[in-house]
Structure 1
Amino acid sequence: MAQPFWESKTLSEMTRQEWESICDGCAKCCLHKFIDDEDTSEATEMQPTDYIESGEQMHYSNIVCYLLNDKKCECTRYQERTVLVPDCVQLTQENLDDVFFMPPSCSYRRLHEGRGLPSWHPLLNKGKKSAMHKAGMSVRGKVVKDNEVDMEYFDEHIVTWPLNDVD
């Protein structure tokens, strides 16, 4: 029996369709993340960044993009997301090494680190997300939309559950 493509190919060798199917659909990438840094001023604290400096710490919040369908854990405007939300995460084979903000449970990160797909991944469960939701690995039932919360109080929304990684 042939090995599944995610065990026989590297992420960079995958076709576009294979690459897209690696996404487990947890929607943790849609969570707003914040970097804790003493040098951040009020003017720069909500600015997007694509790097983290030594000594800085990243925090996840339970605040998600307004485009997320938080029941299905899917973007309602996936094809247009990077136009509508310019700092939206667009993970590609080219930028995988530089994406430091993906949670430990992210299937791309797991494969990149040689840890394999988790047992709850849809590819291992007939394409269904139910095992992922049951394992508590998605954002379902845990989030608020960014257009429904006062971002001035983002620190009240910092959470650690996105760091959970179960197999």
Structure 2
Amino acid sequence: ALVKSKHDGLVVVLEDPYDEGNAGAVIRSCDAFGVTEVWFVHNGLDEGTSMRKHVERYEEMDIDSTDMMKASSSATRWMVCRTLRSTQHALDELRGMEYRQFATCFTEKSVSLYQTDLTSKKMALWVGNEFEGLSKLAIEGCDVELFIPMRGMIQSLNLSV
């Protein structure tokens, strides 16, 4: 029964995540919802990404770090966690595997999550970092731009949610 509840066709992609605790919480949430695969895209400091502003602390996520293990409730042990070195590489690889890609962002072209066709057998949900959200490259490379309608005064969720 557990295997049937998993969503093998859904990948969550975190672009340049900053905080290991938040990234671990994403892995934990993915496990709770049956997502089996999380990709970490680390553009580093050479591609002009938003993380350049935060160079003093920026480094790749360590899947086995104490913070990551605690925040994920050790879900990193059974989840597929991949690290890729560029947004373009991740976009291309997912496109080559015929994934429909969704950028979580709030732009003029964004459509509500509730009005988005989420019936594709293979979907990749892109989530940006805690400071800048998704890069322009990621947004433009995805098939759909979507947002989660907010009921309160705050217009965004923390990455860990």
**TM-score bracket for the superposition, by shorter chain length:** under 0.3
* TM-score for both structures, normalised by structure 1: 0.24
Q: Higher strand fraction: Structure 1 or Structure 2? A: 2
* TM-score for both structures, normalised by structure 2: 0.24
Larger Rg: 1
